[in-house]
Each structure stands twice: as C-alpha cells, then as structure tokens.
Chains A and B, each alone.
Chain A
C-alpha cells in the first residue's frame, strides 16, 4: 500500500559539532524555561517555527534519545552522586517534543518513535497513516550526539547535531519525488536520512509530493 504526502513546508539543520543559531532566546523568551531545554528541544522548537507549525498532531522521533541526559545520569550513578531530577525528567525519548508542546500550548496527540536507523522512515509511515484522517501534521526528527567523550562511542557520524521538520498532509496527486533518486549525505545519522533527503529535495516554488510505501 502507498500513501502520497504533500510537503507543505519543510526545514532542516545540521552541524558537525553544535548548531549555533537556533533563535532560542527569541523563540523561548522566559529564561526559566529556556534553561531547562535540552539541545534536542531547542532544535525541535526552531524547526517547528521554521515550518510555521503552530498547533496539531506531531509525529516525532530520534534513535539515540537524550544522550547528554543519559550520560550525566550514568556518571552520577557511577560516582555515587545524587541524580538531578531535572536531568532525569529530560532523559526520556519524548523530552524535546514535550517542551515544544508546552511552549506552543499544543494539546493534540504527540507521538515519539525510536526505530534505530529506520526512525525517520517510520515517522513518515506513521505520519502518512495518521494523515489519512485528513489533518495537517508535523513530522519531526532530531539527533543530538554532542556529548563529552563522544569519540569513545562514535566512529562513523560526522554531524553530531541535526534535525528535520516536514509539515505534511495526504494528497491524491502524483509523486514529484522518489527516495531512489535522492543522494545520501555521507556520515549523517541514518535515523534522519529519509526525512532529510526529502527536505533537501523540496522546491518551495513547486508542489512537492512524496510516495510513502507501507
């Protein structure tokens, strides 16, 4: 079965180490809120803003979750030190998108998928199936791997922070782009690759339709 999705808007960002300008001060004026945000939350908030998505259902995903929070928790346990409650609450896979929902007062359904290298592919599939209900959804994926001593774990990824957002709805129009025609960017986390390739192929002057194969 296939479902065709219209890409209404899109945005992507990546950096070898740390993305510099996420407009966080502008998008999150309250310092008390801003200080609690994880890097993934800041990226999610930025990408949602860039796609002009204000309210509605979101299908979010990541493969490695909140690696910085997990690493700090492991370190605390190892050193027999107390775990920070804030870091613990920021360690779940749905942290970033939860902060986004709080900031935008978005009370709709928000899903988080974590399917390893197939994460963004499964976000597309789940998003397409949910979009059959007729609404516009935001599909969002982030990875934030820029933690202390990451070199002990990482020998294949050159972009430690990255994210993609696609604002989509179901269409009956024919596809204008296909996965097989898309050239992979080398050494980007595979978990974002399907959505990144789509975002990079979007021509904002034309209609952009992708066929999702289920």
Chain B
C-alpha cells in the first residue's frame, strides 16, 4: 500500500538560544560576522581546558527551554499546541542532572531516573504546554536532524496538522570528557576544512522550529530529507554513507544536484569528518556550490546541531546571504568552494548535513518559497 498524500511542508517560525546568540537574529549575525561563542572552559574537565560553547544566561537551562517554546507560540498563528506533535531531538537528555546527583555522594540513590532519560526534555515542556502527542529521537549528533526529517515525513503524509521540532542538548562532563578521550577537542574555535584543523568544540543549544503545511510570510520550505547508515564503524565516518544521505535528500526533494546553491556542512573540524564529507560533496556536486561550516561560531551542539543549522539555513534563504567559514586560513581540499567572505547571493536551495556516531547520516534540503 503506497500512501498518496504529499503536502508541502514549511518552517513558519524559529527560536534559538546558543553560545552564539540569544535569538535567531543574533545567531545569524554572529555566524555572518565571525563572532564565535566558543571559549576556553575548565568547568567540565578535571585536567583540561578545551574551547567549548556555553550558553550565557541567568535562567536555568530548562527555564530557557520553556521560554523558547513560548516565543514560538507567541509568534505563531497557533492559539495553543493542542494539535501539534512535539518532536524532540537530543543526544544526552537530562545527563547533566544525573551527574549533579551522582557526584554529590558517589552513589545512585539520589538520581531521579525520570530526569536521566532523553524523554525528560519533553516532560519538562509538557508541564507548561499541552500537545497532541510527542516523540523523542536520540541518534547522537543527528538527533534533531532526524527529528526534522520525521516532522517533514508526518506532515507531508498528512498524519498531523503541525509539528514543533526542538533540538536540545546541554553541556555535561560525560560529553566533554568523552570527546576529550577520543582526542578530538580543540583548545580554540574549530577550523573546519582548514589544513591545520585540530578538532571540534562541544557546545550546547536549544533550537526550535515550527513546521506547518501552509506557508506564511518568510516561511522556508523543507523540500526533502535523506537518511543513510555507514554500516562501517562506530566513530570513523565513511564517505559512502554521507554520499548516500545527500543523494537521497536530493531525490526526495525532486531536484538535481546542480540546483543546490549552498551546503551547510556537518563540518566539525576533525580530520576524519571533514575529509569524508568533502569527498562526498566533491563526488556529487560537480558545479561547486558554496560550502561552509558554521560550527566555529556555534560549536558542535551535538543533538541540537541539525536544528540549529536548519535555523541558520532558513536565515540564509530569507536574507539571501551566504556566511563565511570563520577562522579558515589554509584550505585543505581545494576542490571545495569554501566561502572566505560572507556574501550576498541568490539562494534557492540549501543542503544541510548532519552525521553521527554509529554512522547515522541525515541530510535536509531547504528551499525558497516562491
């Protein structure tokens, strides 16, 4: 049985909080001007001071989560979220709360298991707002890209009226320490695709996108999603997987590779990721679209990365501005058309990549509403 409904799907509103800005406009300005929110911080490691992206706010992380949801509701035409599917994408959920409890007494007795899980994010939000239903995805660094992909699928198929996608991850000792153990954290804002890149920056963010099947002013269309699995290694990426995800996204969007004007890369700044992703891009996009990574400004927000970069992609289409690769000094792969300056250009289609542990890949295509 093949389902025949094919609605168009639009991003009608966004809200975000990250180390790179207290809202989406600040985020995009900082990405375009090269003002990084990534700073050295020793709070999450006992013997190291990596460069990481911490949100600067007087509110608690979870209060900020509610504030961002309220912003979406206030700016939208919705009266409430009663007919909205809440879709969370998160890599660590309430891990920082588990850490706080465990490190007090070195035992599990005070840990609230309901706050440990990924699901805790949606439980916090549902205390303030009523939703039709909710679902949480956790696929490491593709979590919120997959959440967006799912939102696109369910709205396109006419299953739900609208969806609120939230990419969210907070900093914790587990992720900072874990990436330190892999030897991939930089002490400076990362330099994706630079010959002398020396690693990534772990970061935190809250990124919310409202998806509806009717466009309003300044809406951006989600035109397609492409998924794949590397089936290769837990942490070493393989370019076959990223190539397949990008090709699947183009096929889903029913556009040709040469229609993509700009690619927002996963671009973490690690040797392995950037090399595999660059190979995939060169393999598919022979017309050399503009390419950049925005992680030197936002850091790698892990499970929130797909959503925060979807917001940046929306801003690129709305403003017809392509951001530069900040801190890029010496290009490693000269086949890539990496932007060295922020430029005003006609942008119809943007491709955004997200890749994760386990070889989980998701590419999204965004388009200008004509």
Contacts and interface: CB of A to CB of B under 8 A. Distances in A.
A208 interface: no
A163 to B, nearest CB: 17
Contacts of B102: 74, 78
A1 interface: yes
B359 interface: yes
Given A90-B234, A98-B360, A112 B178 contact: no
A31 interface: no
B181 A83 contact: yes
A52 interface: no
B159 A1 contact: yes
B99 interface: yes
Given A83-B181, A94-B360, A114-B119, A70 B138 contact: no
Interface residues of A, number: 60
A114 B235 contact: no
Interface stretch (A7-15, A19-27, A125-133, A192-200): A125-133
Contacts, number: 189
B182 A214 contact: no
A64 B108 contact: no
Contacts of A63: 117, 119
Contact of B140 (A92, A105, A111): A92
B117 A83 contact: no
Interface in A87-102: 88-95, 97-99, 101-102
Contacts of B120: 116
Contacts of A73: 174, 177-178
A104 B229 CA distance: 11
Contacts of A90: 234
A125 B139 contact: no
Interface stretch (B20-28, B49-57, B129-137, B253-261): B129-137
Interface in A56-99: 63-65, 70, 73-74, 76-78, 80, 82-85, 88-95, 97-99
A109 B139 CA distance: 12
B1 A132 contact: yes
B231 A93 contact: no
Interface stretch (B60-68, B150-158, B198-206, B283-291): B150-158
B264 interface: no
16 contacts: A64-B113, A70-B98, A70-B174, A73-B178, A78-B106, A83-B181, A94-B360, A107-B230, A108-B229, A109-B229, A112-B360, A119-B119, A129-B154, A132-B2, A133-B3, A214-B159
Interface of A: 1, 36, 63-65, 70, 73-74, 76-78, 80, 82-85, 88-95, 97-99, 101-102, 104-116, 118-119, 122, 125-126, 129-130, 132-134, 149-150, 152-153, 170-172, 214
Closest A-B pairs by Cβ, 10 of them: A98-B358, A116-B119, A109-B227, A88-B178, A132-B3, A93-B138, A114-B118, A152-B108, A83-B181, A92-B140
